[in-house]
Chains A and B, each alone.
Chain A
Amino acid sequence: MNASLLLAWNAVLSHPLFLLGLTLGVYQLGLGLYERTRMALLHPLIVSIVLLIGALWLLGLEYEAYRDAVLPLTLLLAPATVALAIPLYHNLRRIRQFFWPVLITLLVAGVFVTAVTILLAWLLGADFAMLMTLAPKSLTTPIAMMVAEQMGGVAAMAAAFVMYTAVLGALMGPWLLNVSGVTLPAARGMALGLAAHAVGTSRALEENDEAGAFAALAMSLMGIGTALLLPLCVTLWLLL
């Protein structure tokens, strides 16, 4: 009896759909909690990450095994990114109207966040490879990994820093904007997309379509701008 129960348990655990089902389950649990409480700490993304990491640890599974099992879900991330074109298109008139504010904010805040990250880590004793791994933390994962790699950082760890930033974005992004009194949807979107890439964009979309459009714009331009300029700046710096 016990042996057959164990057999059944193992069959369930090793079924290819188990981890996918688990992910959907914890996400909905998080969604339910979040809709009831509206607390950023209980955002579905945060709840899911904590529960998933706990579950993988209890089951003794490696992250790689999990990543492979939920590939069908992750594959949809690419068309979802392309789908951001629709809110962008709907707000194109607004974006063109605010062309200079967008460009100036991007340049000032983009340089600021990268420089402050490098400076603080350097003051606290991080070595060069670590600085180059930290620098692209505000970018969307694929760009961050490429940029880190190009500059002598560790691509996989850069992805982890991007995700830590994502957690910060989900947890504190909208709250920081509320506390500091930023109310304009375009400005809230710019700040969230620039500082916390796709997760910031996702949070901005929860607020409204206009914030979402500016977040998608900020995320893309921040990624493109940093991919072009940061390796150039680092090369020049090393030459001096």
Chain B
Amino acid sequence: MLLRGLTWLILFQLIGTALNVLFLPFLPSPIIGMLLLVVFLRLRGRVSASLETASSGLLRFLPLLLTPPAAGVMMYGNEVAADAAAILVSLTLSFILVVPLAGHLMQYLVARQARKEDA
């Protein structure tokens, strides 16, 4: 079950790789694979049990899979030290500002749309 679902996921990843090289050099192959799989599921109209098992299994471990690349943050200590204020302030402050902005804007727009549909 798990294996069959994983095979499908890898297949779509590989199709993504081919399309990335052929036509879409500006998009990473896993993103192309993901979008293709959404289109495929839409056409098929349902998600098979094997794909459901594999995807929920993998997504449960997403933080673990992100750990090795995230630890790479340690490599740039010296470069960052030179421009530390500019880097830390711009990255941190822009993040702190954008999260509430995006959340509230989306929440407001959804509520406005709901009011319009009611009226």
* Contacting residues, chain A, for B9 (C-beta < 8 A): 79, 82-83
- Bound-state CA distance A157–B80 (Å) is 9
CB pair B102 A194 closer than 8 Å: yes
A40 within 8 A of B: no
Contact of A86 among B28, B52, B93, B109 (CB under 8 A): B52
* Contacting residues, chain A, for B62 (C-beta < 8 A): 80, 198, 201-202, 205
List the B residue with the shortest CB-CB distance to A113.
B98
Contact of B70 among A102, A163, A180, A216 (CB under 8 A): A163
Contact A78/B30 with A49-B71, A191-B103 known, Cβ cut-off 8 Å: yes
- Bound-state CA distance A172–B65 (Å) is 20
Chain A, residues 108-128, CB within 8 Å of chain B (1/0): the string is 110011001111110011100
Contact A134/B87 with A52-B71, A109-B105 known, Cβ cut-off 8 Å: yes
Kindly provide the distance from the CB of B101 to the nearest chain A CB, expressed in whole angstroms.
6
CB pair A79 B73 closer than 8 Å: no
CB pair B69 A141 closer than 8 Å: yes
Interface of A toward B, CB cutoff 8 Å: 23-24, 27, 43-45, 48-49, 52-53, 56, 63, 66-67, 70, 73-74, 76-90, 92, 98, 100-102, 104-105, 108-109, 112-113, 116-121, 124-126, 130, 134, 137-138, 140-143, 146, 154, 156-157, 159-161, 163-170, 172-173, 176-177, 179-184, 186-188, 190-192, 194-196, 198-199, 201-202, 205, 212, 216, 218, 220, 223-224, 227-228
CB pair B75 A80 closer than 8 Å: no
B18 within 8 A of A: no
Contact A83/B87 with A190-B102, A223-B31 known, Cβ cut-off 8 Å: no
CB pair A63 B66 closer than 8 Å: no
B1 within 8 A of A: no
CB pair B83 A63 closer than 8 Å: no
CB pair B96 A172 closer than 8 Å: yes
Interface of B toward A, CB cutoff 8 Å: 6, 9-10, 12-13, 16, 26-31, 33-35, 37-38, 41-42, 47, 51-52, 54-56, 58-59, 61-76, 79-80, 83, 85-87, 89-107, 109-110, 113
List the A residue with the shortest CB-CB distance to B60.
A205
Contact A105/B106 with A79-B13, A165-B91, A180-B100 known, Cβ cut-off 8 Å: yes
* Contacting residues, chain B, for A223 (C-beta < 8 A): 27-28, 31
CB pair B91 A168 closer than 8 Å: yes
Kindly provide the distance from the CB of B99 to the nearest chain A CB, expressed in whole angstroms.
4
Contact A77/B103 with A86-B41, A134-B87 known, Cβ cut-off 8 Å: no
CB pair B13 A191 closer than 8 Å: no
Contact A80/B59 with A104-B109, A142-B28 known, Cβ cut-off 8 Å: yes
* Contacting residues, chain B, for A117 (C-beta < 8 A): 90-91, 94
* Contacting residues, chain A, for B86 (C-beta < 8 A): 120-121, 124-126, 130
* Contacting residues, chain B, for A81 (C-beta < 8 A): 13, 30-31, 33-34
Contact of A85 among B41, B92, B106 (CB under 8 A): B41
